């Protein structure tokens, strides 16, 4: 599992670092345990990276981490899209073709309908949002999949073949795609 950003409880600061959790079976103890590792970012020369934020959406595709939106203290919601190349330890801002993109948002759920080797990342809802967007990494373009779904801040999602199940503090819903 790879995690980007979030709000640091001790300081209230919005973080912009990347961590990986490696879950392992501990046979001698009979439990799963694991270890957090901060991933190296920026290579030897540093480089651009997303501003600190919480409530960002993320999905893993073809070994890379794609991060969209989120909330940054003093800025509000973001509508930017970044990719973290895990092998190179580098961030790159993505400028989608066509100019179409989802509105600014935080608290959205994401899923990859064709698995990690696919080309699509779906972004569902978010704080005050009621739509589903797809970003295709092969075409570098956003498209609106569905509008006027149930409004929710989606804290989690899972995908079965052509069905997205979303749960939040306000709603649990399933949508056929």
How long is the chain?
Answer: 177
Residue 46 — very low, low, confident or very high, per pLDDT cuts 50/70/90? low
- Which residues are bridge partners to 58 per DSSP? 67
Distance of alpha carbon 120 from alpha carbon 111, whole angstroms: 9
Query: Under DSSP, is residue 43 helix (H, G, I), strand (E, B) or coil?
Result: coil
Q: What's the rounded mean pLDDT across residues 20-43?
A: 83
- Which residues are bridge partners to 16 per DSSP? none
What does pTM read for this prediction? 0.80
Q: Which domains does the chain have, with CATH numbers?
A: 2-176 (2.120.10.80)
């Amino acid at each position: 599992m790879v995690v980007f950003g979030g709000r640091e409880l001790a300081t209230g600061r919005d973080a912009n670092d990347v961590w990986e959790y490696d879950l392992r079976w501990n046979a001698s103890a009979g439990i799963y345990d694991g270890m957090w590792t901060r991933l190296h970012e920026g290579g030897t020369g540093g480089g651009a990276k997303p501003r600190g934020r919480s409530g960002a959406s993320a999905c893993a595709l073809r070994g890379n981490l794609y991060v969209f939106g989120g909330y940054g203290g003093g800025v509000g919601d973001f509508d930017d899209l970044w990719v973290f190349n895990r092998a190179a330890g580098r961030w790159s801002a993505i400028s989608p073709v066509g100019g179409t993109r989802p509105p600014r948002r935080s608290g959205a759920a994401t899923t990859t309908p064709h698995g990690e080797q696919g080309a699509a990342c779906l972004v569902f809802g978010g704080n005050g949002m009621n739509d589903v967007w797809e970003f295709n990494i092969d075409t570098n373009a956003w498209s609106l999949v569905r509008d006027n779904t149930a409004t929710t801040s989606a804290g989690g999602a899972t995908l079965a073949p052509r069905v997205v199940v979303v749960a939040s503090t306000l709603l649990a819903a399933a949508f056929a795609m």
